[in-house]
Structure 1
Amino acid sequence: MLVKDFKLDPNQLTPDARLEDLGLDSLGMADLVFHIEDAFKLSVPDVAVTLTTLGEVVGFIDDLIMARDSAQALPAPSAPPEMLPLSPGQAT
């Protein structure tokens, strides 16, 4: 994504590469967030997060994917019996 969409040299893309050194300013980071959401089918929370290296971005994406997958794996909460809909003809 960074090579294709941001025209970065793949040799620069190491975990400790500073985003600022890669030329990703705040506008570039906003654009990157949109790309991440689309590519990974994620919803990035609208909270201030400070990411300074490419490794931190990767860790952030991994955390979002794990949170999403964990939430999808949880069974749906069941309603208490008094909250369940009545069948036709069932007395109240």
Structure 2
Amino acid sequence: MLFHVRMDVTIPPGLDVTDRVAAEKARALELQRAGVWVHLWRIVGRYSNFSVFDVASNDELHGILSALPLYPFMRIEITPLATHPSELAAQ
């Protein structure tokens, strides 16, 4: 199942999250190498991203997102995706 995920991160002023940021990057790279975090794009000018995840279920996605080190500081919007009949790969 494919999901479009927007993550907006808001760190409280004065909070040192250096270790969390490093752990977040390591986890993101691990999930990308595993083929779960399929795409990851920065939203220009924001501490935000658009991502595409390929997982087996809603529960799996929830588990992945809620385990991210920066999760306590995220606002997340999720949209399930389906193949569009006009996509080249669908032809």
Normalising by structure 1, we get a TM-score of 0.32
Normalising by structure 2, we get a TM-score of 0.33
RCO greater where, 1 or 2, for CA within 8 Å and sep 6 or more? 2
**Larger-gyration structure (1/2):** 1
Say which structure is richer in strand: 2
